[in-house]
Amino acid sequence: MKVGIVGLQQAGKTTLFRAITQGKAPIDEYGGKPNVGVVAVPDARFDWQVENISPKKATPATIEFIEGAAKIGEDQRGRFGSDFFQDVRAVDALLHVVRAFPGPLGEPPTPDKDARALAEELILADLQSVETRLARVEKSLHGTKKDATTPLTMERDLLLEIKDALESGRLLKALSLTPDQEKLIRGYDFMSQKPQIIVANIPEEEIGEPESASVKELRAYAQEAGILVTVLSAKVEAEVAELPQDEQKEYLEAMGLSEPARDRLIHETYGALGLIVFYTAGEPEVRSHSIPEGTQVIDAAAKIHTDLARGFIRAEVGHFEDVRAAGGWEEAKRAGKVELHTREYVVQDGDIIYIRFKV
């Protein structure tokens, strides 16, 4: 899974990237290469299984974070380059960082205005893609009968519908598309169709305080747009990330924080993408797998290995909470907490699964 970090200049994108990846990405305000980092998904359930099984290999779920490098020259501050979103077009979700702290010259924050500005750029980027593709489709349809229905005419009709939505200022994620329509436009990587979380980057002194008027205004806009908002101080989180692991908890408690914001952001990203986690666990390996909510176990088996799906017989399933309460997998089986399921079983978040198969 890939997540892109975007936002206006000096909103704290790189600082947040450093906090999430616990790295030391260079600060580059006006361009350069994108910062890329892979982060293990924090998961106490996975940790418990690793500790109790002591497998030869432990493979947690991971997320790749990409901080898009804005192609903007120093003489173009406050404006987007034509390829501003190039580095993050292929991501699954967006973290949109907005400045909720005073600017370098003391100017007050306007996070709702900044969020709207980036939304407009997402829409314009998609509109440009649609118009380019429509021109090619129309050219290919030259000479086609007016009432004919072909894959190209279906694509043209859908693109025209999308164009109308974009020109009216609507994010494409608000459109209700059929599965076939989703499949038809999957390759476009429309920016405004991606799940999005707005990150309000507040100053350190506002941690634990009632939300400012500007953050409340941001929440009002986000609620209207159907976008989740999370509030944090990227500067504080980056400082926490640089501390040794045993000192992080003490620092967070002193700041009145229960967990690093990077953990919360990762979990919120999973929620925005509609993802759940299941596990395969044994002495050779404990592994965490991310799948869309509503996935049947036959498709989960294919994610583990295609042979498991091809030769699928039954799935042994025990929920993590039941396995932990029993003290382990074998104990849970003896207590009747492990059940056999057919291929139609819908996997639940926290399931531990063993696939019976024959090929």
> Can you give the CATH number for the domain in which 96 is found?
3.40.50.300
Look at residues 192, 216, 251 and tell me which one is the last residue of a structural domain.
192
Do 242 and 308 reside in the same domain of the chain?
no
Q: What is the mean pLDDT of residues 49-64?
A: 95
Q: What is the mean pLDDT of residues 248-275?
A: 85
How far apart are alpha carbons 159 and 67 in whole angstroms?
Answer: 29
Model pLDDT, residue 78 = 46
Do 24 and 103 reside in the same domain of the chain?
yes
Do 103 and 144 reside in the same domain of the chain?
no
Q: What is the mean pLDDT of residues 195-203?
A: 95
Do 244 and 267 reside in the same domain of the chain?
yes
Residue at 350 is within a domain:
yes
Q: Which is more confident, 248 or 29?
A: 248
pLDDT at 76 over 50: no
Tokens at 58, concatenated: 């432990």
Do 94 and 7 reside in the same domain of the chain?
yes
How far apart are alpha carbons 121 and 125 in whole angstroms?
Answer: 6
Least confident of 2-6, 120-124, 137-141: 137-141
Do 35 and 64 reside in the same domain of the chain?
yes
Model pLDDT, residue 347 = 98
pLDDT band of 257, cuts 50, 70, 90: confident
Q: What is the mean pLDDT of residues 47-60?
A: 96
> Can you give the CATH number for the domain in which 324 is found?
3.10.20.30
Least confident of 81-85, 111-115, 164-168, 273-277: 81-85
Residue at 279 is within a domain:
no
pLDDT at 30 over 70: no
Residue at 287 is within a domain:
no
List of long-range contacts for 51-54, beta carbons under 8 Å, 24+ apart:
52/328, 53/281, 53/282, 53/283, 53/286, 54/283
Are β-strands 339-341 and 312-319 bridged in parallel, bridged antiparallel, or unpaired? antiparallel
Do 64 and 138 reside in the same domain of the chain?
no
Whole domain around residue 204: which residue ranges? 2-46+56-109+195-273
pLDDT at 59 over 90: yes
pLDDT at 176 over 90: no
Strands (E), the chain: 2-7, 35-40, 57-59, 62-67, 93-99, 196-201, 228-232, 275-281, 285-292, 312-319, 339-341, 351-357
Do 206 and 339 reside in the same domain of the chain?
no
pLDDT at 140 over 90: no
Look at residues 134, 167, 192 and tell me which one is the last residue of a structural domain.
192
Q: How far is CA 322 from CA 46, 60, 185, 281, in A?
A: 14, 21, 42, 14
Q: Which of the residue ranges 139-143, 166-170, 285-289 has the most confident prediction, judged by mean pLDDT?
A: 285-289
Do 152 and 201 reside in the same domain of the chain?
no
Q: Give the whole-number percent of the chain exceeding pLDDT 90.
A: 62
Do 71 and 88 reside in the same domain of the chain?
yes
Residue at 81 is within a domain:
yes
Q: Which is more confident, 177 or 98?
A: 98
> Can you give the CATH number for the domain in which 160 is found?
1.10.150.300
Q: Which is more confident, 62 or 146?
A: 62
Which sign does the torsion angle of CA 207, 208, 212, 216 carry?
positive
pLDDT band of 313, cuts 50, 70, 90: very high
pLDDT band of 248, cuts 50, 70, 90: confident
Domain count, the chain: 3
Tokens at 198, concatenated: 């707005």
pLDDT at 31 over 60: no
Residue at 278 is within a domain:
no
Residue at 227 is within a domain:
yes
pLDDT at 209 over 50: yes
Mean of the per-residue pLDDT values of the chain: 88
Least confident of 143-147, 334-338, 347-351: 143-147
pLDDT band of 28, cuts 50, 70, 90: low
Q: What is the mean pLDDT of residues 26-52?
A: 83
Do 99 and 248 reside in the same domain of the chain?
yes
pLDDT at 77 over 60: no
pLDDT at 83 over 70: no
Do 173 and 220 reside in the same domain of the chain?
no
Q: Which is more confident, 90 or 84?
A: 90
Look at residues 192, 219, 240 and tell me which one is the last residue of a structural domain.
192
**Edge-first strand listing for the sheet containing 312-319:** 57-59, 285-292, 275-281, 351-357, 312-319, 339-341
Residue at 60 is within a domain:
yes
Q: What is the mean pLDDT of residues 11-40?
A: 79
pTM for the model: 0.86
Residue at 186 is within a domain:
yes
